[in-house]
Every structure is written in C-alpha cells, then in structure tokens.
Structure 1
Amino acid sequence: MDSINILIGIGLIHCTLFFFDTFFKSCSHYPYLYFLENTGLEIQVLRVKWYTTACNRMIMKWAMDRSRFWLAWFNAGVIITVLLLPIASFIILKMTFSLWIGQSPKDSGIQTLEPMLPGVNLPLNEIGYYAATLALCSIVHEFGHALAAAREDVQVFGMGLLVAFVIPVACAHLNSEQLGALPIYNQLRILCAGVWHNIVLATLAAATLILTTWLWAPLFTVGQGVTVKTILPNSPLLGPTGLLERDTIYKINDCHVNDGDDWYHCILTAVRQPTPGYCITQKLIQDHDESVPAWHMANGAVSCCGDDSEEGGSLCFEYIEGPPAAPLQLPPHSCLPARLVILNTQRFCQYSHHCAPHEMHCMQPSLDNVTKVVQIKRREGKDVLFIGHPGEIYRTVDVSDWVPKYSFLSSDVPEALALLCKYVTVFSAGLAIVNVVPCFYFDGQYIVGALFLLRSKIRHKSLRQALALCVTCIGTLLLGVNLLYIFVNKII
C-alpha cells in the first residue's frame, strides 16, 4: 500500500475515534465512560492518550532493590549530562552564527540538529521505524525520570503514552511539590535521568549496529555480494533467463559488487560508460556470423542482423580496429549471438590491443548512446544479460547487503534490526542533545535552573533565578530560530 494512503487511513481512524468519542460523551453513555476511566484512555483531535498506574509497583521495586547501584548510576548521569550541556549550547550557537552570516550550517561543515520528518527527509515507507523509535526513545527517557524519582522518594503518579497522529510520546507524572522540596543534588539526579538514559540507549544501539555483522555471522555473510530481495512486476529483468528473488549478485560487467553501495556504483558506471567490447576468437566470429548487409538506423546504431537473428538473441557487433598499420582481418560488422559472445569472452576491452593474442579481436555491440549491454553475474545460475538502460535495473530491483547462508533464511530480519539501530542511535542521541539545551519545556530549562541554585558567588537567590531565566530565554530563541530555518528550507 502506498505510504500516502496509509497516512490518510490513519487520519480517518483518528477522525472516526473522535466522532464516536464525542457522540457517546454527549449521550452520557455510562458504559463508555466507565470503559475510558478503567482503561485510562483519552481521545482528542488527532491524539490518543493512555495513562496507567500498573508500572508504579515495578518502578518502586526496581528503585529500592539496588539503591547503591542506582545512586552511582544517576550520579554518573548528572556528570555526563552537565558536560553535554555546554556542548549542545555550542552547537546551537555555531548554527545560529552560520545563519547570521548567511551561510548554511551544512555548507560550513558544522554538525547540525535537524528535525526528522517522514516524507521530507525520511522515506515514508520507513514510518514504522520512525514511530517505533520515537516511542522507544521517549519511554526510556521518561522511565529514567520515574526510576530516579522513586529512588529519591518522590511519588510517581503513573506513566502515559500519547500518540499525536503517528508520533508516539511517553510521559511520566511525578509529584512536583516533592521534587521541588528535594536538595539540589537530588533534584539533578531526577532531572538529568532522562537525558542520561537517552545517551545510554544511543550508545547501546550504536554498539549493536557495529557488532551486527559479527552477531549474524553464523547465518549471513556481508561484503561478498548482494542478495535480490524483490523485483517489481514491470521489471525487464523478469523472464526465464532473468533474475530471481534470493539470487546473489557479485559482479556487473567488470565491476565487483560487494555491498549495496557497490551495487549503486556499478550501475552508475554502466550508465556513464559506453558498453564494453569483448575479446573473442576469430573462429567464433567465423562460425556464428549471421550478418546481412548493414544499414544505419535513425538512433545512430548500425543493424546487421535479420529479423530471425534478432529474435534469437543476436546483436550486431562492431569490429574495433587496431593501430592504423594493422591489417583489417574482419568485416566491420558481424551479427553474433549475444549470450554466446559474452559467455565466451576472455576479457573486456575498449581497444583492439587490449586483446593481446593475435587470434583475439575486440567486438563491441553497435547500440545507441542510451542502450547498454549489462552482464549480471550471480552465484548460482547463468549470467543475466540485460539490454536497455541500466537505470531500469536499479529502479526495479531491490537488493540487500545480507546474503543468507541457508535457503530458509530471509535478509529482512538483520536488515530491519540494523535499520532500527540506526534510527535509535540518531534519534536517541538527538533527543539527548536537544533536551539538554536550556529551552522552555525541555529538561535543560530545569537543569539550568537547578545549577544556578547551587552555591555560587551570587548570593541572592532571586538574581540567580533571573539569570537562569535569561539563559533559558536565549536558548529557546536560538533553538527556535534554527528549527524554523531548517523546517522552512525542507518544506520549500
């Protein structure tokens, strides 16, 4: 199903839920109200909120079981988060300075913070990874706050999950009065716990991604070719001698394919470079030549094959002459079976002298500038010959770096895990950096406020609070300007 249709379907589901919710509430439908109260559901416009106290006992138990460990754990979180705060602020300042002088942050080589939007800078077909990653990162973030609060004897009212259209966001409800009454160091453990857990999650996801190849080594190989995942029904590579799903491709013409990047590079090379010539023996040419009087076609190619020969898979090959002094030993054009020529070639060539032995000749298919002959080598089965624009191969064939060692395995599982790890690494690290920026409604606002309340040379508490508010206002303005600039540029 098309991704746009999926989004439209999700919107219709939200509208339907909101309609029935409004209808039953207006009728004072008591079973429905009882259902909402007991499940913790709340339905709003394009939003569904769920709240539960079921995790409270588990959170309390975990917090009390190993109190010393959690104390050291959250103390480490405070140190790492406080060290991250100036780094995040420096990134925002550098981005703002680049915008001030009229230079794009990316052009200046600066690390940028960029909102990830499905359909804008993320493919819509990966919206499931997007939603799952956001849910995981926010749950881990809020669970960190709740666990730290329970460790400091702050009441945890419950945990919630809000789905705004397709974006899931977790939330933890704490007793703010008890939190504010704690000593500053204890407050910092709770305030920094969310960012700290996001940092740990990003580190674990990155480590998993790095070790993915080693973890799957008993079942899959990586770097020794690509496996065909899907072939579109309109692909010109389908057919009795064409590609099949689960084929392992290791070469395109004379270009080696080790992974997906090589796959793209080899196809791009086939597009940009002319069709290569083939070194074949003079005997093969004499035994299989079926040429008829040649004529030039409108597209610039030369045809020297009859209708029956073309239907049988023959092409008109042009003899690539050697040095001017060398005698011409063959006619300029020969009609030869394409598969026979390519399978019996000794090497690729662009000039006659590339075919070293005297009995070898360089023969090149006579085609227009767009049409190319592409030889696709696979581990099992005959080589696939494609005649057409190589871009059709890339457009209609989807490949994976993961080559199964056993026929019952699918490359979808390790590929999905690797992609999820990439999303979690980027999103969790990004959320940690953004959350620590001193900005209203972010963790950075409360962290900066708590840091300014620590002992310092400024004795007046009201002055320290005013300075914290000033820093938060500046951070909010800088972050807002950067996000607005990036959003407008992505949309326009």
Structure 2
Amino acid sequence: MNPINFLVAAGLVHSVLFFFNVMFRSCSHIPYLLFLENTGLEVKTFSIKWFTGALNRPLVKWGTSRSKFWMLWFNLGVVVTIVLLPVASFILIKMIVVMFLSGPKGDKVEVTWELEPMIPGVNVPFADIQYYAITLGLCSIVHEAGHALAAAREDVQLYGVGMLLVYIVPMAFVSLNSEQLSQRPMQNQLRILCAGIWHNIVLAVIAAVGVFISPWLWAPMFSVNAGVVVTSIQSYSPLVGATGLNHYDVIHRINDCPVRNSNDWHDCILQAVKQSTPGYCVSQSLVQEHDESIPVWTMANGEVNCCRRESEADGKLCFEVIEESQVPLQLQEHSCLPTRLIIERSRGRCRSGHQCSETETHCMKPTLDNVTKIVQIKREMGKDVLFFGYPAEIYRTVEISEWVPKYPIFSSDLPESVTLLCKYITVISAGLAMMNVVPCFFFDGQHIVSTLTQNLLRPRIRHKSLRQAIALTVTSIGSLVIVINVINAFVQRQR
C-alpha cells in the first residue's frame, strides 16, 4: 500500500473509532462502559490503549520456571547495562564537546558518533514507514517483556501489561508494584530495571546476525552479488516500452561498469552522470553504409545535429569523427547513424582517435549536450537497453533488488523485506538501548542511577534526601545532554 494511503486509512480508522466512542458513551453508556472495562480498551483522539491482567499468570509462570537460568540471564543483563551506562553517557558528552569545538563558522571536526533521531520522511524513507512502525512495536514489546519476566522472577507484583497505539506507532507498557520494587535489595532491583535494556541489546544482536547470515539462509532460492533484478518501474519512466526494461530483468552492467549489488547500481549510475558520453570505435565501411546525414545545423540548446526528425524517431543520432589529425577524406565530419547498430558493432569505447588501433576504424562520438547521455544497460536475457537522457532518471524511476531469484516462482520481495526489517530492528533496538541507559527523566537510566546512588552511597552519605539530590542532579545533567544532542541533530538536518 502507498504510504500516503496507509496514513490516510489509519487516520480514518481512528476518526471512526473516536466518533463511535463518543456516541456510545452518550447513548448507551452503561453497556459500553462495561464493555470497555471488561476488554481493557480505552479510545482517545488518535490513540487506542489496551490493558489486561490476563497475561499475568503466564508471565509469572515463565519468570519463576528455570529460576537459575533466569538469574544468570538477568545478572548478565545487569553487568552489560552497568558497563554500557558510562559508555553511552561519554559518547553523548563527547558529541556535545565536538559540536562546540566545530565553532560558529561551521568548521568541520571529524565525528565518530552522531545522534540522529530516525523520523519517517526526514532521514527514514517514507515508503518504509510500515517497517518503522513494526520495529518500534517489536522493540517496545521485547523491552517491556524483559521488565515483566524479571519482576516475576523477583516476586514483585505485576498488575498487568498493555499496548498503546498512537496513530500508527505501537508501544508496550508494564504496570508493576513500585513499593515492592523499592523494598527489594539493590541487586534484585537492578535485575528488573536493567532487563528492558538488556533485551533490546539481545534483540539488536540477533537481528544483526540475521542480516549477516541472510545470504546463506536464502542461498537455495536466491543469488546475492550476482547482479540486480528489476522489481518495479514507474509508469512515467523513460525506460518503459518495447525496447526498455521489464520486471524481473537481471542487470549485470551499466556501460563498462559491472553491477553486482545495489551499491554498484548506485555507483554505476553516478558514474554515468559524471562522465561525458564516450565515442565508439567503428569501421569506416559501417559508417559509409548506414550514413543518412543532412547538412549540419545547430539546435536551440547548442547541440549540433545532422539527422532528420524521422531519422531521430527511428533511433538515429548525429555522430562526430574524433581524430587528432586532419579528418580523413573518406568520411565527413558528421554522420547520422543508427545508434544501436553502432554500439553493438563497435570495437570498443574511445575518447580519442588513437584509442581505435584497428585499421580503417574511427572514433565516432554522439553530438549530445552535457546533460544527455547514452547509457547501455546489459541484462541477462534480451538485447541491451539503450537509454537517452539524464541517467539519474534511471535511479529515480526504477526499483531494484540485489536478491536475484534462481527460479521464476520466487519473488525478491520476501528476502528484501525480511532483511530490511532486520536492519531496522538492529539500528532502532540498539539505539533505544543506548538512549534508555543514559540517566534521563522518564528513561530506565533515571531509576538505575537512583538505585545505585541510594545503595552505594548509603555508607558515606547517611541522609536519604542528600542521596536523592545527587541522583536528581545526575539525571538532570543526563537529560540536558540528550536534549542538546537532539536539538543539534535537528539543526544539522536543516542546514
């Protein structure tokens, strides 16, 4: 589904639900309120909340079974989280220092790490909004499941779990008995508080491994680094037509640039944009046989032409002889020749006449402007596709996949979607873990720092209020660091 249509449909669904919610609350409020209470639903403007205690028993059962495993699991999570806390804080502080060192004039300082919030339509392709929403929901569920299982393991009362859908962004949450949590020993509290961050780290590692081993997993059905396959062509693309590209064409080369994967596809098109149109080493007899030139005339854009309009419609272009010495008498300076025939029967590309070493061959270059290029696209089946125009149009109007099916029954959409989803999970889950561990208000880092401060400083600082003040100061500094980095990321994006 088109992303715009998806957002519009989501807005209509929210509007309809909100309308019926208001109507039922006014007309048949008692049965409707009972329905909401029994199902745990709550409908608000562009948001739907669901809360239930039905999952408490299974969560408690899972958390208390295999107690030794869960203890080792969550203890490892505590160690990893405590190690990550100063690392993440140092990275964010370093980014602020680098930002100030860059100076008001925007002098560039090399940055190893950079905070960049992922926003659809800004730095996340809007077409990938469904992957973005699914990833946020999955990361949130895994995060909260960690807190719930750890709380069950530490015998902290679990009130329930729920989901909150804000427009199209799903988020999970867990309700615990905070008084019981605060009364547990420090190690037990940390197992619960660090469990969400730990689960996000594990999820990011699993997704990253999935991306890494995906070529081997899909090897029986798909080839990787063996070209790219065309998955979609826009209807307005200049490559649409009988002699153009087709769906499922496998492309191996653009001009002389080999195409093995999507990175090569981008680089080869960029190379075609930057380089000037080459000439072709053509035999003298071929030129004399197919020449249909007329007296040379100059077009409005400054391009030299020697072809009739009907000849151009048949795929002919005006070619110029490129020679260092005087032009041979056997050939005139400009010739109107069939482009495909010249390219297919050429004996190599050339930039000057001396590059055509064979006898009676000449370097013939199309007389095109600086923007218009001839791009030769070599595909696995069928004739080469010749594109006349600005090469960037190829990149804008043709979608490709580097997953080349070995058999016609398979589509590249499945491995492409799964791999892309794994990439989003890796980046977003790791990012959420890094942000959550920093001591910041409303983040897990706030409660982790508070617990550590209250317990580790108790032998030296007897007053609880003073320990709370220290934790509050650290959390305020962490919050300020995050806010500055986020603002700086948006400012840099606007430049």
* TM-score between both structures, scaled by the size of structure 2: 0.94
Q: Which residue of 1 aligns with 2:87?
A: 87
Mapping 1:266-277, distance limit 5 Å = 266-277=268-279
Q: Which residue of 1 aligns with 2:135?
A: 133
Q: Which residue of 2 aligns with 1:233?
A: 235
Q: Which residue of 2 aligns with 1:367?
A: 368
Q: Select which of 147, 151, 163 maps to 2:153.
A: 151
Q: Select which of 285, 299, 319 maps to 1:317.
A: 319
Which whole-Å CA distance do the structure 1 matches of 2:318 and 2:326 have between them? Answer: 25
Which secondary structure state, in structure 2, belongs to the residue aligned with residue 453 of structure 1? helix
Does the C-alpha gap of structure 1 residues 325 and 143 become closer, same or farther in structure 2, counting only changes over 3 Å? same
Which whole-Å CA distance do the structure 2 matches of 1:314 and 1:298 have between them? Answer: 19
Q: Which residue of 2 aligns with 1:3?
A: 3
Question: Matched residue pairs, number?
Answer: 491
Aligned partner of 1:469: which letter?
L
Aligned-residue offset at 1:310: 2.7
Q: Select which of 263, 283, 286 maps to 2:285.
A: 283
Which secondary structure state, in structure 2, belongs to the residue aligned with residue 299 of structure 1? coil
Which whole-Å CA distance do the structure 1 matches of 2:188 and 2:246 have between them? Answer: 62
CA contact (8 A) 1:453 1:461 kept: no
Task: String of CA shifts for 1:167-191, please: whole Å, max 9, x gaps.
Answer: 2110011121221121111111011
Which whole-Å CA distance do the structure 2 matches of 1:199 and 1:364 have between them? Answer: 57
Which secondary structure state, in structure 1, belongs to the residue aligned with residue 74 of structure 2? helix
Mapping 1:267-416, distance limit 5 Å = 267-321=269-323, 323-324=324-325, 327=328, 329-416=330-417
Q: Which residue of 1 aligns with 2:31?
A: 31
Aligned-residue offset at 1:455: 4.0
Aligned-residue offset at 1:327: 4.7
Aligned-residue offset at 1:14: 2.2
Task: String of CA shifts for 1:395-418, please: whole Å, max 9, x gaps.
Answer: 211111111111111111111111
CA contact (8 A) 1:105 1:111 kept: no
Mapping 1:434-473, distance limit 5 Å = 434-456=435-457, 457-462=459-464, 463-473=466-476
Task: String of CA shifts for 1:363-390, please: whole Å, max 9, x gaps.
Answer: 1112222222111100000111111222
Aligned-residue offset at 1:133: 0.4
Which whole-Å CA distance do the structure 1 matches of 2:447 and 2:313 have between them? Answer: 76
Aligned partner of 1:276: which letter?
P
**133-142 or 147-156, which deviates more:** 147-156
Q: Which residue of 2 aligns with 1:474?
A: 477
CA contact (8 A) 1:99 1:105 kept: no
Which secondary structure state, in structure 2, belongs to the residue aligned with residue 171 of structure 1? strand
| Residue 436 (structure 2) pairs with residue 427 (structure 1) | no
Which whole-Å CA distance do the structure 1 matches of 2:328 and 2:130 have between them? Answer: 66
Which whole-Å CA distance do the structure 2 matches of 1:382 and 1:436 have between them? Answer: 57
Aligned-residue offset at 1:131: 0.6
Which whole-Å CA distance do the structure 2 matches of 1:107 and 1:19 have between them? Answer: 53
Does the C-alpha gap of structure 1 residues 237 and 364 become closer, same or farther in structure 2, counting only changes over 3 Å? same
Aligned partner of 2:48: which letter?
V
CA contact (8 A) 1:458 1:464 kept: no
Does the C-alpha gap of structure 1 residues 135 and 359 become closer, same or farther in structure 2, counting only changes over 3 Å? same
Which secondary structure state, in structure 1, belongs to the residue aligned with residue 320 of structure 2? strand
CA contact (8 A) 2:152 2:158 kept: yes
Aligned-residue offset at 1:82: 0.2
Q: Which residue of 2 aligns with 1:207?
A: 209
CA contact (8 A) 1:264 1:394 kept: yes
CA contact (8 A) 1:148 1:190 kept: yes
Task: String of CA shifts for 1:75-128, please: whole Å, max 9, x gaps.
Answer: 000000000000111122122323444657985404123221112221221111
Q: Which residue of 1 aligns with 2:177?
A: 175
Task: String of CA shifts for 1:172-215, please: whole Å, max 9, x gaps.
Answer: 11121221121111111011000000010011111111111221
**274-283 or 97-106, which deviates more:** 97-106
Aligned partner of 2:46: which letter?
L
Aligned-residue offset at 1:461: 4.6
CA contact (8 A) 1:437 1:445 kept: yes
Identity, in percent, stands at 56
* TM-score between both structures, scaled by the size of structure 1: 0.94
Mapping 1:9-48, distance limit 5 Å = 9-48=9-48
CA contact (8 A) 2:77 2:194 kept: yes
Aligned-residue offset at 1:325: 6.7
Does the C-alpha gap of structure 1 residues 106 and 43 become closer, same or farther in structure 2, counting only changes over 3 Å? farther
Aligned partner of 1:302: which letter?
V
Which whole-Å CA distance do the structure 2 matches of 1:253 and 1:102 have between them? Answer: 42
